[in-house]
Amino acid sequence: SQQGEEDPQALSIQEGENATMNCSYKTSINNLQWYRQNSGRGLVHLILIRSNEREKHSGRLRVTLDTSKKSSSLLITASRAADTASYFCAPRGNTPLVFGKGTRLSVIA
């Protein structure tokens, strides 16, 4: 399946620190998308990285993609309390998105 598996399952950091989350998958993909979900809410699309891209930036977010290792990472720099949420990666080929358990990030003020 194209389900991504996020690691770690939970991460707790101090405000101002950087947070790194990893994603592994098993099949070939067209792109990989990262999402944030605040408790009880919908998913917010953060960033899309295409299979021919290796790195992409958006504000405080930096995403890398290594298709040879079938892995991706999401780095949030200078974290804020408002970044507290669950983060999901979604490898995408030609089928609907399948989600793993996500990484639960807690940013402590």
Partner 1 sequence: SAVISQKPSRDICQRGTSLTIQCQVDSQVTMMFWYRQQPGQSLTLIATANQGSEATYESGFVIDKFPISRPNLTFSTLTVSNMSPEDSSIYLCSVAVGDSSSGNTIYFGEGSWLTVV
Question: Which run of H or of E encompasses 100?
Answer: none
Contacts of 87 (CB under 8 A, 6+ apart): 6, 21, 34, 35, 36, 37, 46, 74, 102, 103, 105
Task: Name the segment binding partner 1 (CB under 8 A); options: 17-25, 57-65, 67-75, 95-103.
Answer: 95-103
Reference 63, options 81, 42, 37, 90; nearest CA is 90
Q: Is 98 in the site for partner 1 (CB under 8 A)?
A: yes
What character string, x for contact with partner 1 (CB under 8 A) and - otherwise, covers 33-72? Answer: x-x----xxxxxx--x-xx---------------------
Instruction: Please tell me the distance from the alpha carbon of residue 109 to that of residue 91, in angstroms, as a whole number.
Output: 32
- Tell me whether residue 64 or residue 77 sits nearer to partner 1 (CB atom): 64
Q: How far is the CB of 8 from partner 1 (least distance, A)?
A: 15
- Residue holding tokens 């690691």? 7
Q: Is 92 in the site for partner 1 (CB under 8 A)?
A: yes
Q: How far is the CB of 71 from partner 1 (least distance, A)?
A: 17
